[in-house]
Amino acid sequence: MTPATDRSFLHEDNADLIFSPLEFRQLTVKNRLFRSNLSGMFDEYNGYGGHTRLNWEEKFARGGIGAIISSYTPVSVRGRILTRYAMIDHDDKIPFWREVGKRVHDYDCRFIMQLSHSGRQQDLGGVENLYKKGLSSTNQKDFFHGLLAQAMTVAEIHQVVEQFGALVVVDADALFLDQEVRGGQRDLQARGQRDRAQGAVRGEQRAVGLG
C-alpha cells in the first residue's frame, strides 16, 4: 500500500481537518488550533494578574483559537520561575483566573492552565527566594545554566504534592477543564529521591493523574 503524501490532499481537506473538533478523554476542543504556552512579564510582582493578561488571552480566543495553554502558573512563591507572572498560590488569585476562563469561554475557547513548580529552574525567583537554592530532586546544579539546587526533604515533597493536588480541585470550580503539570514535578517523577521519597513521588503522580 502506497503511503499518502501531502500532495494527496487538497487545501480543503487540510482545512476540514484543522477546523474539525479534537476530543480528549475529558476535553473537547472546537478545532485543532492551540495557542502555545507563552506570555510576557506583564503581571504584578506579587502574582496577581491584571487587564493586560486578560486582554492578551481574550485576543487569541476572539481570533478563533480552539484552546489556549497558559504560561507556567506557579503554585507557590517558593516555586516560581520568574517574577511578574500570574500565580495561583492562594485563594485570592482565583477570581482573576475565573475571569480569564469566562472571557475565553465566551468564544467557545478552552483554557488549559499549566500548573508549575520551578524545581531548580528558578531563573528569577524574586527577593523572597534570594540566596535560596531551587527545590529539586537533587543537589546537583543544572548542567547547562549552572543553577543551584537542593534536594527536597520528604516533608517538602509532600507540601508540593498538596499544592498541586489542591489546585486540581480548585481549577474545576474555576471553570477550567484541563491542567498540564510541569516544572519541579517532572524532576520528582523522573529522578525522585529513591531512598527516602519514592512513596511520596508515587503519591504525587496519583495526585496529578500521572500514575
Q: Which grid cell is 7?
A: 500532495
Residue 12 lies in a domain: no
Among the listed residues 24, 60, 92, the one whose alpha carbon sits nearest the alpha carbon of residue 71: 60
Residue 27 lies in a domain: no
What b/e sequence results for 149-184 when a residue is b if at least 16 CB atoms lie within 10 Å of its CB, and e otherwise? bebbeeeebeebbebbbebbebbeebebbbbebbbb
CA distance 159 to 165: 10
What is the tens place of the pLDDT at every residue in 45-82?
999 999 999 999 999 999 999 999 999 899 999 999 99
Residue 61 lies in a domain: yes
Query: What's the half-sphere exposure (Cβ side, CA atoms, 13 Å) at 164?
Result: 30
Residue 154 lies in a domain: yes
pLDDT over 90 (residue 170): no
What is the tens place of the pLDDT at every residue in 133-159?
999 888 998 888 788 999 999 999 999
Residue 174 lies in a domain: yes
Residue 173 sits in a domain whose CATH number is 3.20.20.70
Residue 1 lies in a domain: no
Which of 174 and 61 is assigned the larger pLDDT?
A: 61
Mean residue pLDDT of the chain comes to 80
- Band the pLDDT of 200: cuts 50, 70, 90: very low
Backbone angles phi, psi at 3, to 5 degrees: -65, 145
pLDDT over 50 (residue 187): no
Average pLDDT of the residues in 82-95: 92
Backbone angles phi, psi at 186, to 5 degrees: -65, -40
What is the DSSP secondary structure assignment for residue 211, as one 8-state letter?
Answer: -
Domain count, the chain: 1
So what's the pLDDT on residue 4? 67
- Band the pLDDT of 174: cuts 50, 70, 90: very low
Domain of residue 199: give its range.
Answer: 32-207
So what's the pLDDT on residue 2? 63
Residue 21 lies in a domain: no
CA distance 105 to 5: 36
Residue 20 lies in a domain: no
pTM of this structure = 0.76
Give the CA distances from residue 183 to residues 71, 130, 132, 161, 189, in Å, rounded to whole numbers and listed in that order.
12, 19, 17, 13, 10
What is the DSSP secondary structure assignment for residue 142, as one 8-state letter?
Answer: P
